[in-house]
Structure 1
Amino acid sequence: MTATTAEHVDVLIVGAGVSGIGAAHRLREEFPERSFVLLEAQDAAGGTWWTHRYPGARSDSDLFTYGYRHKPWRGPSIAAGGEILSYLDEVIAEDDLAGHIRYHHRVTGLSWSSPQNRWTAEVTRADTGETLSITASFLWMCQGYYNHDEPYTPEWPGLDRFEGRVVHPQAWPDDLDTGGKQVLVIGSGATAATVVPAMAPDAAHVTMLQRSPSYWFPAPTVHELATMLEPLDLPAEWTHEILRRTYVQQLDWLATTGRDDPDALHEFLVESIRPLLPEGVDVEKHFVPRYRPWQQRIAFVPDGDFFAAMRAGKASVVTDTIAGFTEKGVELDSGETIEADVVVTATGFNLSVFGDVPFSVDGEPVDFTRSVTWRGLMISGVPNMAYAFGYFRHSWTLRLDLVNDVITRILARMDERGHRAVVPTLRPQDADMPLLPWVSEDNFNPGYVGRSQHRMFRQGDREPWTHMHEHDVDRVELPKADLDDGLQYR
């Protein structure tokens, strides 16, 4: 294929991770006659679970809700990256999707033509350097929400002086050996909560350095209810549904209590870890955050493995800020120093707006900062484009299933009415509607959100122009969403 030839499909899906594979399954199920392809920049499917190679990489959500609604999860509630990849591979095989996925295909531009009612994707093949074009009647963006290629690393004074090795979890080298070494992990989020206990057994010692504490929750790897159900030899579908509903109820409680009674959730979370900590640890200094529960993600630690490493003397926590690097480690603002052979910068990532791909509509570049979301799955002024975005406080995939329901309803509505295009459009009563941030700081305020708000699309102060609802709201509101409210068809 060359740049002068173009292939046309009914639906173009960008991304072959959990979102793209889920979207492809729904297309197969609801519209078996439609043609579609998934374009994936990596050399295999799986998205995050393919690119994250750091020790212990795992889901910090239970797999009974992170797994798809249609595909029962068979295994422990918390699973490693490889197990999740195997699960996704099963979906690809069962739905015969392999022939629809194009690997090494990086989308570099997307343009919509109203006269033709179609998108044109400009694509570069990483394996051959070729450029090509693919046109599509509908675009489904499932590329994820952060930049895989450029993780976030702060600029610390003297970093170039450090004689050891510095690695970021998003770019974990295959040849890194931390056995018998002093390891310093900078950061205290979900990634740090994973890599510290994974490296602790072989390393001489692992120190986690944090500017401020995070909330932790020592969830069991295997739910006690799963243990009770196992002797009953129930069909996998029954066990899956029972545990899925149980975890939904638990997650709903965590999310709604964080919103309605944050003091109660604060006490619950802090007291849950207190008995797991080594004697003498300053809980107030190292494990009591400055923010309300769920204003940032809670670090889930299966069976409290992080705290087990601390009790064994293989891991420790330091709460301080970095003055600068030395040849042998880090000097802190308190005057203390931490020596290290390896520094792991678990400092987060950068948000990506639709893969940072430039969009245009009828020759005009799309400025997403002036656009608003339609129910968290389409964008005002952008025709025939849906996007996948899950939850921060619940399992990502819980929302994907609900989003896919709405998108397939829209596609069916277009078929029934003979429409070729649909575009979210502000109503006359929305003319003076304020454009609010992508997410309010009071709702969710981790560093990667604060760093990227200026690049993100907006939301309004009324339906259907809001998003970031919790699952207890979405599971009621999205299934009954009015497909004529805020959407124009032609």
Structure 2
Amino acid sequence: MSENKSETYDVIIIGAGISGINFAYRLQERQPHLTYTILDARDAIGGTWDLFKYPGIRSDSDLYTFGFPWSPWTEKTSIAEGPLIVNYIQESAARFGIDKKIQFGSLVKESKWSSESQRWSLDVDLKSGRSKKVDGKFLLFCTGYYDYKEPLKVEIPGIENFRGTKVHPQFWPQDLDYSDKEMVIIGSGATAITLLPALTAKAKHVTMLQRSPSYLLSQPSEDGLEKLIRRWAPQRWISSMIRFKWLAVPWMLVNFCKYFPTLAKKLFRSATIAQLPKEIAHDPHFKPSYNPFDQRVCFCPNGDFYRALRKGDASVVTGQILDMTADTIKLTDGQELRPDIIVTATGLKIQLAGGMRIFVDGKAFNISEKFMWKNVMLQDLPNAAYVIGYVDASWTLGADATAQLVCRMLAKMQKQGYTVAVPRVDESKKKMKQSQLLNLSSTYVKRANSVLPMAGDLPQWRGRTSYFRDIWQAWFGDISTGLQYIQAPMK
């Protein structure tokens, strides 16, 4: 059943996760005269952090930069578990009245742009079973980058034969009893690294079965520099100083690994060997085939992953699965594992715009055929921005750089009388070289090339490189080249 009357706003934000809440704050701060709403298909604030419920779920980057710059993270731990993150997002939104702007249970099925009216019209399905129209001048996609309903499909030989319990972390059963159970986690990414120590609290034994290893660094919940800052710095400076430390140190680490990969691999190796029990060899279990930060580096707070190995509560097996029986995982090297429960931590299925259909003047818009302008707007898509984060830093940094650039662009449009902004690749740039938007060699990223937009080799179309460059661009960079600005038609 459909409601006839449309709701109308200046700006529509899709998604009430960390990106959407941050966008809302920046709009209120810099464009307070604009009306806006946030549409979210779920029933709560938090996005990813409200969706995932597996044991031990936590951030895979520090909260000082993952948190909002306008609502500093004040806990004395850099890595936080999911419930703490959700509470933080909710409290931050409530403090600035952003929670009052959210329409929960509102799934956007279609977004349609009309050049004639210079407006977006959204078809929204409500949880009540009804539907409605929401219209707006500008659209902000804060929908994340993966499918909430379907995980990445990975071929696991013989898994259909296994008669024990099979679980995917994205859909963790809250009533799952794994007490005194033999568990095998298939995967070696951040989710597997998080799950292993958390599961050992109840399980009999937890084995991480990996086809290939990842880099894994321990991270203290509070390091010496942070303690020094908290002890000696003026109270009003503490949050800013710790945040800057977390901006600067990871940036230096990433660039060090980029320019000195051989030395970086040796340092990673030494740090890992120092924490492993004697009975677990570094090779092949902790020897990735790639350089640090070619894929995301995993972090474990206070070395909890290695501690579980040293206590004997967990182990790591590296190998290829040959087949499975009703109760056994058989590997190609002859090893056999006999789990009661298998956890398939095999990655996320990348999906953009929450799976909604997008139309421009009646024609279907294909995101994968387009370049991204400044990692903010999609080629040929008018009055719309899309949040893409970083592969080697906190997602929120990219979200905030995007929000600040968009607010600056909206201010320019208002000042100069423009009503539409749309990225264009002109004839002289038609031969622009294509590159990957997300510079990662991870399997789930490679499989998503058919759905991701493209980056180019020209300044306005390059992929993300660093937060420092992007925030400088947001404040002072060129917001004219590559953009077509249009004024309202004469009446």
TM-score by length of 2: 0.96
Distance between the aligned counterparts of 1:232 and 1:105, measured in 2?
A: 48
Letter in 1 for 2:29: E
Q: Deviations over 1:25-76 (max 9, x none)?
A: 1111112221111111111010111001011011121111111111111111
* Cross-structure match for 1:135: 135
Contact preservation (8 Å) 2:62, 2:79: yes
1:447 and 2:439 are equivalent in the alignment = no
Change (3 A) 1:129 1:57: same
Work out the CA distance in 2 between the residues paired with 1:30 and 1:108.
30
Hey, what does 1:465 align to over in structure 2? Answer: 461
Separation in 1, partners of 2:213, 2:244: 31
Letter in 2 for 1:90: E
Q: CA deviation at 1:479?
A: 2.7
Q: Deviation digits for residues 356-410 of structure 1, max 9, x if unmatched?
A: 2111100111122221100100011000001111111011112222211110000
Decide whether the 8 Å contact of 1:77 with 1:223 is kept in 2.
no
Q: Distance in 2 between matches of 1:384 and 1:475?
A: 21
Q: CA deviation at 1:233?
A: 7.8
Hey, what's the Cα distance between the residues in 2 that align with 1:231 and 1:435?
A: 49
Pair 1:391 & 2:387 matched: no
> Match of 1:423?
422
SS of equivalent residue, structure 1 residue 324: strand
Matches within 5 A, 1:290-309: 290-309=289-308
CA distance in 2 between partners of 1:84 and 1:119 (Å) = 32
1: distance between equivalents of 2:30 and 2:302? Answer: 40
Query: Cα gap change, 1:436/1:62 in structure 2, threshold over 3 Å: closer, same or farther?
Result: closer
Equivalences, count: 485
Give the Cα separation in 2 of the matches to 1:438 and 1:221.
32
Q: Could you say which residue in structure 1 is the equivalent of 2:489?
A: none
Structure 1 pair 179–233 and aligned structure 2 pair: CA distance change class (3 A)? farther
Question: 1:108 maps to which residue?
Answer: 109
Report the Cα offset of residue 435 of structure 1.
3.4
- Distance of 1:223 and 1:26 partners within structure 2: 31
Equivalent-residue separation in structure 2 for 1:24 and 1:221 (angstroms) = 30
The residue type equivalent to 1:247 in the other structure is: W
Q: What amino acid sits opposite 1:289 in the alignment?
A: P
Match of 1:484 among 473, 480, 486: 480
Which residue matches 1:91?
Answer: 92
Structure 1 stretches of 4+ moved >4 Å? none
Please, which runs of 5 or more residues in structure 2 have no aligned partner? 487-491
Q: Measure the CA separation in 2 of the matches of 1:437 and 1:386.
A: 19
What is the distance in 2 between the residues matched to 1:155 and 1:402? 38
TM-score of the superposed pair, with normalisation by structure 1: 0.96
**Aligned counterparts of 1:213 and 1:436: Cα–Cα separation in 2:** 26
Aligned partner of residue 132 in structure 2, secondary structure: strand
Q: From the superposition, tell whether residues 308 and 390 of structure 1 become closer, same or farther in structure 2 (CA, over 3 Å).
A: same
Structure 1, 400-409 or 310-319: larger mean CA deviation: 400-409
The secondary structure found in structure 2 opposite 1:110 is strand
Shift in Å at residue 306 of structure 1?
0.3
Identical residues among aligned pairs (%): 36
Instruction: State how 1:330-369 maps to structure 2 within 5 Å.
Output: 330-369=329-368
Give the aligned partner of residue 177 of structure 1.
177
SS of the equivalent of 1:270 reads helix
Partner AA of 1:83 in structure 2 = L
Unaligned runs of 5+ in 1: none
Q: Which is further off, 192-201 or 469-478?
A: 469-478
Q: Does structure 2 conserve the Cα–Cα contact (< 8 Å) formed by 1:40 and 1:102?
A: yes
Structure-to-structure mapping, 1:57-72, within 5 angstroms: 57-72=57-72
SS at match of 1:19: helix
Number of the residue aligned with 2:273: 274
